[in-house]
C-alpha cells in the first residue's frame, strides 16, 4: 500500500520549485514578447536603430505593429503626413504657450505682430536619413531648430522693407507672397541641412501664410477698432500727432 507524500517532503518541495521556475520563465518570456512589439501610429513611420552595429535598418516600418529586439534595437517614429506649425498670438492655438507671434518692424519703425503658419512634410523615403542627420531626435527638435528658427529669422527681413499700411492692408497679398517665397527658400535649405534641396532634403516646405496682422501700441488700438468712446479716440489721435503719451 503506497504511502501519501507529505507536504513538507523533499519530493514535494522539488516539484513546487520546478513549477515556480517554469512560471518565472513564462512570465519573463511574456514580458520580452510584449516589449518586443511596438505600435506605430497611423500617419507615421518607424525607424529602427541597431545599438550593436550603430546602424539604421533599411526601410521604414509601416503603421501597425513592429517587432524589434528590445535589447539591441530602438525605434523612433516620424510623421509623414502634412504637419502644421503655428506661431500665433493666442497661446491656445500654437505650439508654444503665450504670445508666440512674430514681432517685426515696418520701415517706419512701427512694431507689427504677425501670426504665421508653416506647413511641411517629412519625405517618407528619407525618414531613415533624417534620423541619422539629427541623431535620432524627435520631430519636435527639427521643428524648433529649423522650421521655427528659419521662419522667425526670415519674416522680419522681408517685412522691414514695407510700411505698416502696406503690411496691414494695401500690399498685404504681395508681401505675403514675398515672405512665403523667401522663407520657404531658406526653410528648404535648412530642412536640406544646407547642402542643396535635391541632394539632402529630408522634408518638403509646402506653404507659409500670414493668418493675422496686428499693430502694437496705440496706433494698433485705433486701427484694430477697440471699443473706445469719441473723447478717448480724440485723445489717442492727439497723442499720436503730438508725440505725447496721453492717458485715457
Backbone angles phi, psi at 77, to 5 degrees: -105, 140
pLDDT in tens, 185-234: 776 666 654 444 444 558 877 778 877 777 765 555 444 444 444 444 44
Alpha helices in 37-137 (DSSP H): 127-133
What was the pLDDT predicted at 82?
Answer: 92
Full-model pTM:
0.68
Backbone angles phi, psi at 70, to 5 degrees: -65, -20
What was the pLDDT predicted at 158?
Answer: 84
HSE at residue 48, side-chain half, CA atoms within 13 A, is 23
In the chain, the domains with their CATH numbers are: 83-215 (3.30.479.30), 216-248 (no CATH)
Q: Which residues of the chain have pLDDT under 70?
A: 1-8, 32-33, 170, 187-201, 216-248
What was the pLDDT predicted at 160?
Answer: 87
What was the pLDDT predicted at 193?
Answer: 47
C-alpha pair distances (Å), 28 with each of 4, 178, 230: 34, 60, 78
What was the pLDDT predicted at 177?
Answer: 80
What was the pLDDT predicted at 81?
Answer: 94
How far apart CA 117 and CA 94 sit, in angstroms, is: 9
Q: For residue 103, count CB atoms less than 10 angstroms from its CB and return exposed for 0-12, middle for 13-18, buried for 19 or more.
A: middle
Nearest to 83 by CA among 205, 209, 210: 205
What was the pLDDT predicted at 59?
Answer: 83
What was the pLDDT predicted at 5?
Answer: 53
Amino acid at each position: 500500500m503506497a504511502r501519501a507524500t507529505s507536504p513538507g517532503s523533499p519530493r514535494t518541495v522539488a516539484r513546487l520549485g520546478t513549477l515556480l521556475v517554469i512560471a518565472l520563465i513564462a512570465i519573463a518570456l511574456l514580458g520580452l514578447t510584449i516589449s518586443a512589439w511596438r505600435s506605430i501610429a497611423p500617419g507615421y513611420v518607424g525607424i529602427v536603430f541597431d545599438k550593436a552595429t550603430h546602424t539604421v535598418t533599411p526601410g521604414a516600418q509601416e503603421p501597425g505593429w513592429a517587432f524589434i529586439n528590445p535589447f539591441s534595437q530602438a525605434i523612433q517614429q516620424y510623421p509623414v503626413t502634412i504637419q502644421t506649425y503655428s506661431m500665433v498670438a493666442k497661446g491656445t492655438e500654437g505650439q508654444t504657450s503665450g504670445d508666440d507671434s512674430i514681432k517685426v518692424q515696418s520701415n517706419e519703425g512701427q512694431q507689427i505682430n504677425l501670426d504665421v503658419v508653416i506647413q511641411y512634410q517629412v519625405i517618407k523615403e528619407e525618414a531613415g536619413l533624417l534620423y541619422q542627420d539629427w541623431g535620432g531626435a524627435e520631430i519636435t527638435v527639427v521643428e524648433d531648430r529649423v522650421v521655427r528658427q528659419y521662419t522667425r529669422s526670415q519674416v522680419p527681413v522681408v517685412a522691414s522693407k514695407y510700411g505698416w499700411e502696406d503690411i496691414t492692408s494695401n500690399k498685404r497679398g504681395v508681401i505675403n507672397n514675398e515672405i512665403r517665397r523667401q522663407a520657404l527658400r531658406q526653410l528648404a535649405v535648412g530642412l536640406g541641412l544646407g547642402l542643396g534641396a535635391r541632394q539632402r532634403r529630408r522634408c518638403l516646405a509646402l506653404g507659409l501664410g500670414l493668418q493675422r496682422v496686428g499693430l502694437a501700441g496705440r496706433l494698433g488700438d485705433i486701427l484694430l477698432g477697440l471699443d473706445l468712446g469719441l473723447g478717448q479716440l480724440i485723445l489717442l489721435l492727439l497723442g499720436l500727432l503730438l508725440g505725447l503719451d496721453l492717458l485715457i
